[in-house]
Chain A
Amino acid sequence: MDNNCAVQLTNITKSFGPVVANENVSFDIRKHEVLALLGENGSGKTTIMNMLAGIYYPDSGEIYVNGNLVSIKDPKDAYALGIGMIHQHYKLIDVFSALENIVLGLKAEGKKDLSMAREKVSEICSKYGFEMDLDMKVYDMTVSQKQTLEIIKVLYRGADILILDEPTAVLTPQETARLFNILRNMRDDGKAIVIITHKLNEVMEISDRVTILRKGQYIGTVNTAETNPQQLTEMMVGEKITLDIKRDLVEEKNLRLEVKNLTVINNENKRVVDDVTFNLYSGEVLGIAGISGSGQKELLEAIMGLQKCEPGSSVVYYSTAHGVHELVGLSTQEIIEHGLHLAFVPEDRLGMGLVGNMGMTDNVMLKRYRKGPGPFLHREQPHQTAVKIKEELDVQTPDLEYPLRKLSGGNVQKVLVGREINNKPTVLMTAYAVRGLDINTSYAIYNLLNEQKKRGVAVVYVGEDLDVLLALSDRIMVLCNGKVNGILDGRTANKEEVGLLMTHLKEGE
């Protein structure tokens, strides 16, 4: 074994009940390099890295660190071996400062003498180019700052092998660029770095080698310099697919929603949606961009009658079939009872759009269970609709009564989107419609949205992947701190422009 090899995984298998998350996976992680661990959701990338970090224990297989066979029973063992993982969900204490979070849980020597710790942390920061105010409280930090803090924390504990789980998922282009610079610095310092991702452009930009997993199996490892996105996609998906989103121009446009001065104040007294004004037309996809928590969720929920709007807010709904309605002041129930065709695919699929313990039929029935006479449910019609959705969208489920929570994310989303477009909506609003979905399903969803657009539906697409937003949207509205920070033409805008609008509120707006 050459001594450049930091970690070697041999025939690792791990299953959860009937689900085999990893099967005989073997690959190695080297010092002085960034390894991208590429695979679709559910391909087992996070699981295998969790076994390195001591979160899970493999059913079988061996792990060698620096050439020695090791057994990593818990995260402490992992730290002792110099392995540190930055998880997708940060593990920080909100009311503590950055420095306190860094020393938290360490043996007394580090804890008692904060000034010594401070010195050491500053050293790490300047070495790799982190910018961090060590006295800042975590609750004041942006997502990107929290991530930086997690990385410093891991380095402070002496990690030489760093694993980052989807680190760019929540970052703006500018923040991503900064993170990549730091990763390069650490690589040049001799650290071994693994980034778990499914974004091809980032793989091409940052990694030295790429290891691909598919459905828990090891597919192969290639040198980044010798590959291209098309080849990687094929390895990842297992078949040839085209990565184009077809954006047609629909000439005929009618006003569907007129949102004026919409303001929502949440229970922490924060203006989460702040004086938002925009129009939505039929035959267009209006993309909504913004760092997460900029008011996207609340904006859509306010339109659906799920948030309390402040006085002065107005949302006027125009439709050829139902006339003109002011939506502010109507409850969701009233919107449904008036037969207004607003469809909404919420971010939290099983927590808001669907019921995980129910099957397809009962979920299709969700918005129409009141229909029909008498106190009893009428399941025949929803059953037929469920059959139709299952066929048209190719939902993989053993039967229509099988609980949705046991289905894959892609199938769950197909049921949700299928139900919402089955009702022939005038306005279709989606929040993070492809989050966590595999590539094939994601493109199936994009196609569905474009089809709806061509039928004259007004589509709202709240997204996080800027490449997709730019390829799909006719117009892009950027939200920043709950305010509209600009509306761009989707065909001419570029990523940097959108990224800037996401983080820097324009003056005088």
Chain B
Amino acid sequence: MENKQPFIRIRKKDDRPLWQQILIKVIAIIIALIISALFINLITKLNPIKVYESMFRGAFSTTRRIWITIRDTALLLSIAVALTPAFKLKFWNTGAEGQILVGGLATAAMMIYFGDKLPSAVILICSMVLSALAGALWGFLPALFKAKYNTNETLFTLMMNYVGIQLVEFFVDVWDKKQSHSVGVINPNTQAGWFPSVFGQQYILNIIIVAAVTIFVFVYLRYSKHGYEVAVTGESENTARYTGINVPGVIIRTMLISGAICGLAGFTEVAGISHTISTKTSGGRGFTAIIVTWLAKLNPIIMVIYSFLIVFLDKGAIQIASDFNLNEYASKIITGILLFCILASEFFTNYEIVFRHKEEH
């Protein structure tokens, strides 16, 4: 007994070539699909291949569905991109939900109060600016307290979500004319403040806005002096001070940007997609985006892939639910298994497992 090596040991391995890293991810997805297949088969006795087919249909079966998939991918991407500067600063912004909501709220207010007073284009531009400002304010408050009093930003931003939700709740009540506990579609006839169709497509403007924001963040972080300050401060506050960087200033500035982009996502959601406001407007995307940002290791370009993957899974889950009469939660388990496997595969990217050599003792 005394002479036995430990049965398994974990060894650090941080020099895997790119093809191995990709291979590990692919294997993780395959394993997830197998586990999900077993799960589906055990619980529902359905043929897993058919279920996967159905998932695929959910996202791609019609042109309209493809557009909706792209639209939702873009929306999720814009939030993930919004979180990126903050995360690069190691400022854990968990308040995207709230920032989206107040952005959406500003847009809805513009549409409701000025819907018959101003031309649609003016409403759009004003909504855009106001929603960005509202989101920026929601980002600014926790940043200010972090910079001044070193409060915990994770809790602060999280709590700001609830303030945002309550605000929306309040205004829904104010704007609700039919006692239906919802605002309903705003300006359904005039479509004032709605995104116009571009080239005959309803969601082109959404995509243009998100693409612009993504490129902006990518360039900002990589090539601007501000982005450099974010990178240095995020790595080490001491180095930032040593270099003469105004650390509180960088924290506040970065959160203004992060919050503003989240606010814009709220604007896109309300003016470009749902044309209404409710506490469900953000739809948990503020949290899902954290996973996207993290999986993509803060690279806005890789985020496109992960945003798409998650939206695809989501659409698939809904489709399965309706096709096979399953509870939607059962199908969401597939999403859960997949995300879990991808996250767990990170471990195998960084470490390897060594088993005891058989021939010894």
Is A356 touching B225 in the complex (CB atoms < 8 A)? no
Is A352 touching B239 in the complex (CB atoms < 8 A)? yes
Q: Which residues of B lie under 8 Å from residue A357 when comparing CB positions?
A: 235
Is B225 touching A358 in the complex (CB atoms < 8 A)? no
Residue of A nearest to B241 (CB): A306
Chain B CB within 8 A of A401 CB: no
Is B242 touching A333 in the complex (CB atoms < 8 A)? no
Interface residues of B in 221-259 (CB under 8 A from A): 223-229, 231-232, 235-236, 238-239, 241-246
How distant is the Cα of A306 from the Cα of B2 in the complex, in angstroms? 55
How distant is the Cα of A334 from the Cα of B223 in the complex, in angstroms? 24
Residue of A nearest to B350 (CB): A17
How close is B244's CB to chain A, nearest CB, in angstroms?
Answer: 3
Is B223 touching A18 in the complex (CB atoms < 8 A)? no
Residue of A nearest to B3 (CB): A71
Given A16-B12, A346-B242, A353-B242, A362 and B228 contact (CB-CB distance below 8 Å): yes
Q: Which residues of A lie under 8 Å from residue B5 when comparing CB positions?
A: 57, 71
How distant is the Cα of A362 from the Cα of B2 in the complex, in angstroms? 52
Task: Bin the interface of chain B by size.
Answer: 20 to 34
How close is B249's CB to chain A, nearest CB, in angstroms?
Answer: 10
Is B224 touching A336 in the complex (CB atoms < 8 A)? no
Residue of A nearest to B244 (CB): A333
A301-316 contact mask (Cβ, 8 Å, vs B): 1 or 0: 0001010000000000
Q: Which residues of A lie under 8 Å from residue B223 when comparing CB positions?
A: 376-377
Is A375 touching B9 in the complex (CB atoms < 8 A)? no
How close is A124's CB to chain B, nearest CB, in angstroms?
Answer: 28
How distant is the Cα of A468 from the Cα of B3 in the complex, in angstroms? 46
Chain A CB within 8 A of B181 CB: no
Q: Which residues of B lie under 8 Å from residue A375 when comparing CB positions?
A: 224-226
Residue of B nearest to A62 (CB): B3
Is B246 touching A355 in the complex (CB atoms < 8 A)? no
Interface residues of A in 209-263 (CB under 8 A from B): none
Chain A CB within 8 A of B11 CB: yes
Is A71 touching B238 in the complex (CB atoms < 8 A)? no
Q: How many A-B residue pairs have CB under 8 A?
A: 84
How close is B149's CB to chain A, nearest CB, in angstroms?
Answer: 14
Interface residues of B in 179-194 (CB under 8 A from A): none
Is A356 touching B235 in the complex (CB atoms < 8 A)? yes
How close is B29's CB to chain A, nearest CB, in angstroms?
Answer: 26
How close is B220's CB to chain A, nearest CB, in angstroms?
Answer: 9
Residue of A nearest to B227 (CB): A377
Task: Bin the interface of chain A by size.
Answer: 35 or more
Chain A CB within 8 A of B6 CB: yes
Q: Which residues of A lie under 8 Å from residue B246 when comparing CB positions?
A: 333
Given A16-B12, A17-B13, A375-B226, A332 and B243 contact (CB-CB distance below 8 Å): yes
Is A332 touching B15 in the complex (CB atoms < 8 A)? no
How distant is the Cα of A334 from the Cα of B246 in the complex, in angstroms? 11
Is B228 touching A352 in the complex (CB atoms < 8 A)? no
How distant is the Cα of A367 from the Cα of B228 in the complex, in angstroms? 12
Is A71 touching B2 in the complex (CB atoms < 8 A)? yes
Interface residues of A in 326-354 (CB under 8 A from B): 331-337, 344, 346, 348, 350-354
Q: Which residues of B lie under 8 Å from residue A16 when comparing CB positions?
A: 11-12
How distant is the Cα of A428 from the Cα of B333 in the complex, in angstroms? 61
Interface residues of B in 13-72 (CB under 8 A from A): 13-15
Is A71 touching B239 in the complex (CB atoms < 8 A)? no
Chain A CB within 8 A of B4 CB: yes
Given A17-B12, A17-B13, A351 and B3 contact (CB-CB distance below 8 Å): no
Q: Which residues of A lie under 8 Å from residue B226 when comparing CB positions?
A: 375
How distant is the Cα of A474 from the Cα of B216 in the complex, in angstroms? 54
Is B6 touching A73 in the complex (CB atoms < 8 A)? yes
Is A377 touching B228 in the complex (CB atoms < 8 A)? yes
Is B225 touching A353 in the complex (CB atoms < 8 A)? no
Is A71 touching B235 in the complex (CB atoms < 8 A)? no
Q: Which residues of B lie under 8 Å from residue A114 when comparing CB positions?
A: none
Is A70 touching B2 in the complex (CB atoms < 8 A)? yes
Q: Which residues of B lie under 8 Å from residue A331 when comparing CB positions?
A: 244
Q: Which residues of A lie under 8 Å from residue B224 when comparing CB positions?
A: 375-377
How close is A60's CB to chain B, nearest CB, in angstroms?
Answer: 9
Interface residues of B in 288-322 (CB under 8 A from A): none
Chain B CB within 8 A of A366 CB: yes
Partner of B241, one of A332, A337, A377: A332
Is B239 touching A351 in the complex (CB atoms < 8 A)? yes
Chain B CB within 8 A of A278 CB: no
Q: Which residues of A lie under 8 Å from residue B239 when comparing CB positions?
A: 351-355, 366
How close is B167's CB to chain A, nearest CB, in angstroms?
Answer: 34
Q: Which residues of A lie under 8 Å from residue B12 when comparing CB positions?
A: 16-17
Is B242 touching A332 in the complex (CB atoms < 8 A)? yes
Is A370 touching B6 in the complex (CB atoms < 8 A)? no
How distant is the Cα of A247 from the Cα of B235 in the complex, in angstroms? 38
Residue of A nearest to B360 (CB): A60
A368-408 contact mask (Cβ, 8 Å, vs B): 1 or 0: 01100001110000000000000000000000000000000
How close is B360's CB to chain A, nearest CB, in angstroms?
Answer: 9
Residue of A nearest to B357 (CB): A60
Q: Which of B2, B5, B6, B13 has the most CB of A within 10 A?
A: B2
Partner of A306, one of B4, B235, B242: B242
Chain B CB within 8 A of A69 CB: yes
Q: Which residues of A lie under 8 Å from residue B14 when comparing CB positions?
A: 17
A-B contacts, 27 of them at CB < 8 A, read A17-B11, A17-B13, A17-B14, A57-B6, A57-B9, A69-B3, A70-B2, A71-B3, A71-B4, A71-B5, A332-B243, A333-B245, A336-B243, A344-B242, A351-B236, A352-B236, A353-B239, A355-B231, A355-B235, A355-B236, A358-B235, A362-B228, A369-B225, A375-B224, A375-B226, A376-B225, A377-B224
Question: Interface on A for B, CB 8 Å cutoff?
Answer: 16-18, 57, 69-71, 73, 304, 306, 331-337, 344, 346, 348, 350-358, 362, 365-367, 369-370, 375-377
Given contacts A16-B12, A334-B244, A355-B239, 15 further A-B contacts (CB under 8 A): A70-B2, A71-B2, A73-B6, A332-B241, A332-B242, A333-B245, A350-B236, A355-B232, A356-B236, A357-B235, A366-B232, A366-B243, A369-B225, A369-B243, A377-B223
In order of increasing CB-CB distance, the 8 nearest A-B pairs are A333-B244, A332-B244, A352-B238, A355-B235, A336-B244, A71-B3, A17-B12, A352-B242
